[in-house]
Chain A
Amino acid sequence: MEWHKQVDAPRNGLSILWILSLAALITGLAAQSFIGVLTGCLFTLFLVCSHLYFKYVAKSLKIEMERQNARMFPGDRDYLALGLSQGGWLPIIGGTLRLTIDPAISFSAGTQEKKGFRVTDIPFTLFGKQTIKINLPYEGIHRGPAKIQAIEVIISHPFGIGTLRLDWKKLIPFQALVYPEISPVLDLEKAKPVNRGDFPFRKSFYEDPARLQGARLYTPDDPFNKIHWTASARTGVLHTKVLERASQYSWTIMVDIRDPELELKLSGIAYLLRYATREAIPFQLFFNVRCMGSVPFLYLPRGTGKEHLQKAMELLAMVRKDSVILSFTHLWNHAVKQPELSPLFILSGDAAKGIEGEIAARKADTYRLENTSDGLFLTNAEIKKRKAM
């Protein structure tokens, strides 16, 4: 049995019907009245049939649904395909298929809001050994994941004595993910790297072999290929090349999920991410959302390309404002431990401002994503400070 079953029938009413039918039967027998016995038998037969109908109608009823994962922006449309199959011989007349879904999407027809979910009723009639296919169009409403929380089948008794409610027990393989709307961020050019490729940087494990800074005295653990032969020949003492520290240009974006303007900021970040992908700028994302695992917060490691953008957009779609949060100091501590620190940080939300001083101490640029009357802007925190001084 793939359903939780619940019979909603008036208990007192049913009891009275049973008593009446038995009474009619006994009275008919006692009075030797054919009509009385017939009435009693019909009543009893009717009640037995009702009981058997409710008992067996759902025994071979199945929901057929393939795994469906939809990705969309608000306003986009798609459809949910599911099948309802009656493997038994008992027909279902005037049944209702009720879907309860998360509010990020809405089915086009017959949707009501109940307790924060959207509930859609689809009437159907299904004869024995029949399968019906239902294609339900739906539309992305706002950012967030949307799952079908419940599938119910409501079967009314043909003569109106109660209803049978069936609740689908199995996993429902459907998820729609609605990305945030993309809102342009103005003045974005200043966050674009002037040069492509490696970016000179003081704190990095990596060196750019094409950028020679100078030479120093050789020490025994220096690799052979770093010996500065020209300087060694000129001075008669072995020298080692000193190369410029380099880092790949990238963005680190840190998001405070308790920002009162979170939805707008996420729309702006979606724009930034799309821009970064187009310009082939690697980026990593930090959210101050506490998570289980070795990294105790929601984090997307550095990467670039369309697949990376898709993962980032999925995170933006799924992040919830009411999640348990973590201090930005933890996020910063993780960021600073990486072998390559991004030369540019983009911070969203007030809580992120606490680490601006730390970032500045590492000589990285910091931009804030701020909402102004003209729209979303990237403002440089350090420049503001200098101007104020």
Chain B
Amino acid sequence: MKNDFNDVQNLDSLLENFLQEAPIEDQDFSYRVMQSLPTPSRWSWMVDVLPSFLLSAILFCGWHYHKIVVQSFFMYRAEFYGWLRDQVPSFSISMSYGTLAGLAALVFFIVMDKVTGEIHSK
């Protein structure tokens, strides 16, 4: 049968019929796609656990050896503050240990978050 391709409506319906085909149903394709997905590294669980593990280790050691830690800190405190005073004359010695500990924890979390984030994004 001859088609009148000059007829715009005829061409439109031809294109619709041609382009709107029956759905392709086969499970092999989805299986193939799933097989090609990147699998998580066997060590990826370590990345999730590492920050908590390190923090726990620090807290554990700090609790058990706090005397040594505190003594060491006091021992070097004067020297440290002296050095700090030389660097920043307006620095107040009244800065509490809590603030220092808080700042250290903050830096620790920021660094760990950045490190683990970068590892995850790879």
Q: Do A and B come from one complex?
A: no
